[in-house]
Homo-oligomer: A and B are copies of this chain.
Amino acid sequence: MQIVNAFNRQIVIAARPTGDAKLSDFRIIKQAVPSLRDGEVLVRNLLISMDPYQRSLMGNASSELPPIDLGQPMSGPTVAIVEQSRNGNFAIGDHVVSWSGWQQYGVTDGSDLMKVDAGAAPLSTALGVLGHTGLTAWLGVTKFMTPKPGGTFVVTAAAGSVGSVAAQIAKLRGYRVVGIAGGSEKVRYLRDELGLDEAVDYKAPGFQRQLARALPQGLDMLFENVGGSMFEALMPHFNIRAQIVINGTIAQYAHPGVSPGPNRLPELLKLVLYRFIEMRGFALPDHLASYTEFLAEVGPWVSEGGIKYSEDFVDGLENIPAAFLRLFDGRNHGKLIARVG
């Protein structure tokens, strides 16, 4: 079979940013589409995901993950269609989630591919509410927190792709849910459209006071996506036996190295000790076996409107870098996806 466009355009890492990433850290290049070896699959990306953790793949970042080599495309999830296959598990025309990243085409041995039923839900949901994003939210709320009926559940970056799903699952589980987000528009969305009990604008004056007002009974569960000073503002509100999932520290991806004092670590250890706090991170790949259970619970909620999701589309591969940078100043709203098909 002939590839219509014999070239593969890629967004590659051109430079390792210090601090925040900028446009000049990316470059768009053209590569020949490689021919397949036995067992391989060629996919053409239709939808490409942009996620905050990708900053940590650019280097000079607060991450344990090795950075991507300069000149190589950003990795990450996409929705793609199989264009060629020398792998018996995948046929031409199959829709899949792949891990081929910011490029038009990907070649893979199939181990990263997961078939998607294009008729069951919009394809974009496979990158968001019904994909890794939703699975992450669901795992955090249901697998790493034991139920506390009537408890107060706080989620930071609550209007974000993971946060908004976590908040709604927590509501469906019967918790009192307080979302934290930046800007009055996001706060309105959380309150009026997602139906959270409280939403607090961290960019507004008097944030600490608003936070205290939203947490009169303290905090029993925290789904943390931000870290940094946001986490420190929440610490005084931790209740006895509070459960904390650290899912992201977006505040710190671009800013590793030494943080100025005071040192808040001794205070956290004291809280863990005297308030019997549980705190954890988790590795999504350890829990992919739960994907079926997740889909069975969350799929119907999504199709019946019990869980709403918001998507923020950008068109064209070449517009990915600029869109990506919006993730870090709070200007995006919902799951950020590039349409490149």
Contacts and interface: CB of A to CB of B under 8 A. Distances in A.
B252 A270 contact: yes
Interface string A273-296: 111111111110010000000000
Contacts of A248: 273
A279 B280 contact: yes
Contacts of A268: 265, 268
A263 interface: yes
A246 B269 contact: yes
A273 B247 contact: yes
A227 B241 CA distance: 20
Contacts of A269: 224, 227-228, 231, 246, 249, 252
- Highest count of chain B CB atoms <10 Å: which of A258, A264, A273, A280: A273
A280 B281 contact: no
Q: How large is the interface on A (under 10, 10 to 19, 20 to 34, 35 or more residues)?
A: 35 or more
A122 interface: no
Contacts of A265: 231-232, 259, 263-265, 268
A266 B249 contact: yes
Contacts of A246: 269, 272-273
A64 interface: yes
A205 interface: no
Contact of A262 (B247, B261, B276, B279): B261
A314 to B, nearest CB: 27
B266 A263 contact: no
A274 B63 CA distance: 7
Interface string A215-248: 0000000001001100110000000010000111
A75 interface: no
B63 A266 contact: no
A60 to B, nearest CB: 14
Contacts of A276: 280-283, 286
Contacts of A231: 265, 269
Given A63-B270, A231-B269, A259-B263, 10 more contacts: A62-B266, A64-B270, A228-B269, A259-B267, A260-B262, A260-B263, A261-B262, A263-B265, A272-B281, A277-B281
28 contacts: A62-B270, A63-B274, A64-B274, A227-B269, A227-B270, A228-B266, A232-B265, A246-B269, A249-B266, A252-B269, A259-B261, A259-B262, A259-B264, A259-B265, A260-B262, A260-B263, A261-B263, A263-B265, A264-B265, A272-B279, A272-B280, A272-B281, A276-B281, A276-B286, A277-B280, A278-B278, A278-B279, A279-B279
Q: List the 5 closest A-B pairs by CB distance, nearest first.
A: A261-B261, A64-B274, A259-B263, A264-B265, A278-B280
